């Protein structure tokens, strides 16, 4: 678990310290993260929760899990040094009643400033745009059974199994979170997968 927590912290710093050159870099980090998850036997519910935590900005320090509070990004923020990336000045024109509502929301949400309010608004919009419905794609490839996990950020993690029993064990690991996924099963495996998911072995 220590290896996973250390790597999770590395991902957080990469995201919030501007160390990524492209979205591809982050996908590569996530692929490596999921490899560690599988190697350490961490359940997928916990892995998805940790991926969600990468989108908590450093200025929301109190919401971060303990290990991310020790990341470089969070330490800078808690010390009062900005770590939010590139600053660009913009001018926004809104009616007075809207400004009054914004001021109330800033107070209600205990945000530090007007900038923090608009930053959170922008980040939330980006998060919603990046997220998609989670999917499990189940099919055969080169005579192997494949479970392809497409998470809420549209990142893909594949697990391959040489036997039908291996496939069943892989599916069983999703039991606690199965209702969070949309299933897409190839025609040739549909009867097999549905029979297993409705069996006492899976349901019990």
Indicate which CATH number applies to the domain containing 107.
1.10.1220
pLDDT value of position 128: 60
Same domain, 75 and 92: no
Distance CA(179)–CA(108), nearest Å, equals: 34
Q: What total number of domains does the chain contain?
A: 3
Same domain, 51 and 69: yes
Same domain, 80 and 95: no
pLDDT digits (tens, 9 = 90+) for 7-65: 998 888 888 876 555 555 777 888 888 889 888 888 877 888 888 888 888 878 888 88
CA distances from 35 to 6, 31, 141, 157, 165 (A): 14, 6, 20, 9, 21
Same domain, 151 and 164: yes
Same domain, 77 and 5: yes
pLDDT value of position 78: 55
Cβ–Cβ < 8 Å for 2, 70:
no
pLDDT value of position 81: 46
With 0-12 CB in 10 A as exposed, 13-18 as middle and 19+ as buried, what is 149? buried
Closest by CA position to 185, among listed 144, 142, 135: 135
Same domain, 176 and 141: yes
Same domain, 78 and 7: yes
Distance CA(159)–CA(28), nearest Å, equals: 16
| Mean pLDDT in residue range 170-179 | 86
Averaged pLDDT score across all residues of the chain: 82
Distance CA(186)–CA(171), nearest Å, equals: 15
pTM, whole model, 2 decimals? Answer: 0.47
With 0-12 CB in 10 A as exposed, 13-18 as middle and 19+ as buried, what is 174? buried
Domain containing 117 equals 88-130
Distance CA(24)–CA(21), nearest Å, equals: 8
């Amino acid at each position: 678990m220590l290896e996973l927590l250390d790597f999770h912290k590395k991902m957080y710093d990469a995201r919030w310290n501007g160390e990524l050159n492209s979205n591809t870099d982050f996908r590569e980090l996530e692929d490596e993260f999921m490899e560690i998850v599988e190697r350490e036997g961490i359940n997928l519910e916990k892995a998805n929760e940790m991926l969600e935590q990468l989108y908590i900005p450093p200025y929301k320090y109190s919401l971060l899990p303990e290990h991310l509070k020790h990341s470089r990004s969070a330490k800078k923020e808690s010390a009062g040094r900005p770590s939010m990336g590139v600053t660009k000045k913009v001018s926004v024109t809104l009616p007075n009643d809207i400004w009054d509502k914004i001021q109330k929301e800033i107070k209600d949400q205990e945000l530090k400033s007007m900038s923090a309010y608009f930053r959170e608004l922008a980040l939330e919009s980006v998060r919603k745009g990046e997220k998609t419905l989670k999917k499990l794609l189940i099919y055969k490839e080169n005579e192997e059974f494949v479970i392809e996990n497409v998470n809420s950020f549209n990142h893909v993690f594949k697990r391959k199994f040489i036997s039908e029993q291996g496939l069943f064990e892989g599916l069983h690991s999703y039991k606690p979170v199965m209702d969070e996924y949309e299933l897409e099963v190839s025609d040739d495996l549909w009867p097999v997968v549905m029979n297993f998911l409705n069996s006492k072995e899976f349901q019990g």
